[in-house]
Copies of this chain bind each other. A is one copy, B any other.
Amino acid sequence: MSQATAKVNREVQAFLQDLKGKTIDHVFFVACGGSSAIMYPSKYVFDRESKSINSDLYSANEFIQRNPVQLGEKSLVILCSHSGNTPETVKAAAFARGKGALTIAMTFKPESPLAQEAQYVAQYDWGDEALAINTNYGVLYQIVFGTLQVLENNTKFEQAIEGLDQLQAVYEKALKQEADNAKQFAKAHEKESIIYTMASGANYGVAYSYSICILMEMQWIHSHAIHAGEYFHGPFEIIDESVPFIILLGLDETRPLEERALTFSKKYGKKLTVLDAASYDFTAIDDSVKGYLAPLVLNRVLRSYADELAEERNHPLSHRRYMWKVEY
């Protein structure tokens, strides 16, 4: 066992062991909301790395109803639900198994319905004590880079795992560096009724998650995650000095799109919050995976921006009016 492999979640190790010799030609990333958003960077990784495995990402019910013809015995379906209780995702696991697909579920609750429906389960850690490598993002990348290594001899597995292992230190340094900015962001946006987010490539899912989970769900602030490349083909007409934007700059190949969007926004907007992964200390991370790991850091830093915003607005992130409270 390599040093890197030894750092991999035991359940993921067992899954990767069984994966050897199997034929997989399609990976489906299936989840809902925040659990789906963490999968966007993995689709980016597959697009850039996989020579023969195709990949698609769907919200769980869309996946079931869309019923892709290519879902079958050569498919790997990666699912995630924090509670393991999300009905759509539980149903998607059963649906995928019924088609003969290989299924692996990520969840915080290993005794949950989702864990029971999927053939493989990987539990992740959660909360302030959790190390980056063991969180949902970390475990997902273990599955993704492990799968690419097993099925295609992709060589980035070691760098990815070692990078994940170093990531907690990157988080902590970045959080310190951004602590005052997070407070300033919260004060400046306390009264805003809409905040746009923007990113591209590996980072788009982070913007999406912040938009739909943090702002809309947990703060009841209007939002929309704009793709930085699409910005100039419609959405940019909305910006002026009164409209707040959070703009993410990652380290992946699409960074020029994000930079271009920022340059324009600086010219015509005023309420800009910029999180730039290039300002964080990635020296311990191998160049070959920096772009893939940047969204995880941006996501962690943005969470601190959410904490400060919730405090400033006196609207706890746990507060809901419909979710888990009414029928839907």
Residues of chain A whose beta carbon lies under 8 Å from any beta carbon of chain B: 26, 32-36, 44, 47-52, 54, 56, 59-62, 65-70, 86, 88, 194, 200-201, 211-213, 216-218, 220, 222-224, 226-227, 229-230, 232-238, 253-254, 256-257, 260, 264, 268, 320-323, 328
Jot down 13 A-B pairs with beta carbons below 8 A, ordered by A: A32-B232, A36-B230, A48-B69, A50-B69, A54-B70, A59-B227, A59-B229, A61-B229, A61-B256, A62-B227, A212-B230, A218-B237, A260-B328
Q: Which residues of B contact A201 (CB under 8 A)?
A: 62, 65-66
Q: Which residues of B contact A26 (CB under 8 A)?
A: 54
Inter-chain contacts of A35 with B (CB < 8 A):
233
- CB pair B233–A65 under 8 Å, yes or no, is no
Contact among B235, B253, B264, B321 with A66 in the assembled complex (CB-CB below 8 Å): B253
Copies of this chain in its oligomeric complex:
2
Contact A220 B238 (CB under 8 A): yes
- A222–B220 Cα gap in the complex (Å)? 15
For A213, the chain B residues whose CB sits under 8 A away are: 233-234
Q: A234-B33, A237-B323 are in contact. Are A70 and B44 (CB under 8 A)?
A: no
Q: Report how far A226 CA is from B235 CA in the complex, Å.
A: 15
Q: Which of A62, A70, A254, A321 has the most CB of B within 10 A?
A: A62
> With A and B bound together, what is the CA distance between A25 and B134 in angstroms?
36
A70 in complex: contacting residue of B51, B59, B217, B257, CB < 8 Å: B51
Shortest distance between the CB of A268 and any CB in chain B (Å):
7
CB neighbours of A52 from chain B (8 A): 70
Interchain CA distance A86-B67 in the complex, whole Å: 34
Closest to A152 in B: B69
Once the chains are docked, how many angstroms separate the CA of A284 from the CA of B56? 34
